[in-house]
C-alpha cells in the first residue's frame, strides 16, 4: 500500500499493527484463492506448491 511498512500504514490510518497485518493476510489469502480457481479453470498451475516434508 503505497510502499509503506505495516507500522507506518497503521499509524497513518489510526489502526493497530495487528489489524493491518490481519487485513494483509486476508487479502493475500483471497488473492491466492482466486488465482487457484483461475488456474484450475484453465488447466495450468502458476502458483508455487507448498514444500513437502
- The CA distance from 45 to 47, in Å, is 6
Assess if residue 18 is contained within a domain. Answer: yes
Domain count, the chain: 1
- The CA distance from 14 to 51, in Å, is 37
- The CA distance from 43 to 10, in Å, is 39
* pLDDT tens-digit readout, 5-32: 889 999 999 999 999 999 999 999 999 8
- The CA distance from 9 to 19, in Å, is 11
- The CA distance from 53 to 50, in Å, is 9
Assess if residue 20 is contained within a domain. Answer: yes
Assess if residue 21 is contained within a domain. Answer: yes
Assess if residue 52 is contained within a domain. Answer: no
- The owner of cell 497503521 is 10
> Has residue 53 got a pLDDT over 60?
no
Determine the structural domain holding residue 18 and report its residue range: 6-41
Assess if residue 28 is contained within a domain. Answer: yes
Confidence of residue 48 (pLDDT cuts 50, 70, 90): confident
Amino acid at each position: 500500500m503505497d510502499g509503506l511498512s505495516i507500522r507506518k500504514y497503521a499509524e497513518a490510518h489510526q489502526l493497530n499493527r495487528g489489524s493491518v497485518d490481519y487485513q494483509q493476510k486476508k487479502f493475500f489469502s483471497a488473492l491466492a484463492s482466486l488465482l487457484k480457481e483461475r488456474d484450475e479453470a484453465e488447466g495450468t498451475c502458476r502458483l508455487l506448491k507448498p514444500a513437502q516434508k
